[in-house]
Structure 1
């Protein structure tokens, strides 16, 4: 990681810590639409355990737990994960949820072939370089069991914010302290190497609206 990349990473960590502290439960208690779709896909594939990357304050992790999955939730915000743990306790799902503070620029703290499914809602399109994203997906491939599924969502280059604001290079643009790596289709296709690319679904979310892809890819059994 270069000095500029390190500075951006630390600035984003501070941004999210502050955001979750000032706006606890900022995304509400209801799960995201991609999480609802992912849970159905995971269940159909016979998954029992889910790793969520970038779980934040936990609306999706808690939904997976309520659906009966064992959930490992990671985020680089300790503040967000503390809110997640309190939510699990309140909902009676604390026995199915574990949390770990983790920066996805580092190797996943898990052994190989140990989880059935991985979910990441807008985590891969954070302020990560293309090389860091590729390394992260390689780590996901390592820890998934045969037949395991990765479902992720990302903002793409058709989004209204793409190409505006402050450029950090590598298709990363910053607005209001929030940096996004916008994906093109070539990047999605390259990240599916070694997987079966099962779905690339375009959808919109929020008031702008944000334009995203929901990507599902699975390992051979």
Structure 2
């Protein structure tokens, strides 16, 4: 059952943006250089679908964007932290991948600065479960659908209501809880299914990552 209280969208998300900016400044390349397991999976799925271009939303300092570039994809990486994208750009140049990686500072609450049907695949690891309201998440997925070509793939991951931090810390309403300074929108199955309407669902895979551990779903769906 979803929390009916609605968050103050602007204040929570804006505070989180400032928090992430300072976090990336204080902890450069905080997630290391190895790609995430969802990115490894996505690269195989994208290749099998014939994708050449990948849009990564919420790329951070770029461990997965750089992996996609090494795998031969042309990558457009976005994040709302200019600091993180500066780290990504520098790492791409150092690795000889500068021509394969472009970046744009972008807040997922805003329309994507890309034309309709302009990308083959979209990857978003834990972006949609940040401090976004259900309304903002739905709008973001609609934007992803707009920029994907017909048949293009979306692979995204989210923490879900089976996670140990669900219900802990500060409640901001709409299944958003803040713990340790980071606010998370925990997804339930109803939201996953709602976001898949109008898409072709390829599957939902449960997995764990990091300390605690975090409990997540990896969703693959096609336009």
Tell me the TM-score normalized by structure 1: 0.97
**How far apart in 2 are the matches of 1:3 and 1:175?**
16
Question: Do the aligned partners of 2:171 and 2:178 also contact (CA within 8 Å) in 1?
Answer: yes
Q: Alignment partner of 1:216: what SS?
A: strand
2:185 is the alignment partner of 1:181: yes
CA deviation profile, 1:14-47 (whole Å, cap 9, x unmatched): 1101100010000000000000000000000000
**How far apart in 2 are the matches of 1:202 and 1:116?**
25
**How far apart in 1 are the matches of 2:7 and 2:39?**
35
2:162 is the alignment partner of 1:158: yes
Return the match for 2:28 from 4, 12, 24: 24
Correspondence list, 1:195-206, <5 A: 195-206=199-210
**How far apart in 1 are the matches of 2:70 and 2:210?**
25
**How far apart in 1 are the matches of 2:134 and 2:46?**
27
* Aligned counterpart, 2:3: none
Displacement of 1:162 in angstroms is: 0.3
**How far apart in 1 are the matches of 2:75 and 2:200?**
24
Return the match for 1:13 from 17, 24, 38: 17
Return the match for 1:83 from 69, 81, 87: 87
How many residues matched?
218
Correspondence list, 1:55-134, <5 A: 55-134=59-138
Structure 1 residues without counterparts, runs of 5 or longer: none
Correspondence list, 1:39-54, <5 A: 39-54=43-58
After the TM superposition, which parts of structure 1 deviate over 4 Å for at least 4 consecutive aligned residues?
Answer: none
Displacement of 1:177 in angstroms is: 1.0
By relative contact order (CA 8 Å, sep 6+), the higher-ranking structure is 2
**How far apart in 1 are the matches of 2:103 and 2:8?**
29
Tell me the TM-score normalized by structure 2: 0.96
Question: Do the aligned partners of 2:46 and 2:153 also contact (CA within 8 Å) in 1?
Answer: yes
Question: Do the aligned partners of 2:121 and 2:148 also contact (CA within 8 Å) in 1?
Answer: yes
**How far apart in 2 are the matches of 1:115 and 1:3?**
32
**How far apart in 1 are the matches of 2:20 and 2:82?**
10
Displacement of 1:3 in angstroms is: 9.0
Q: Alignment partner of 1:110: what SS?
A: coil
Change (3 A) 1:11 1:88: same
**How far apart in 2 are the matches of 1:149 and 1:3?**
30
**How far apart in 2 are the matches of 1:14 and 1:139?**
24
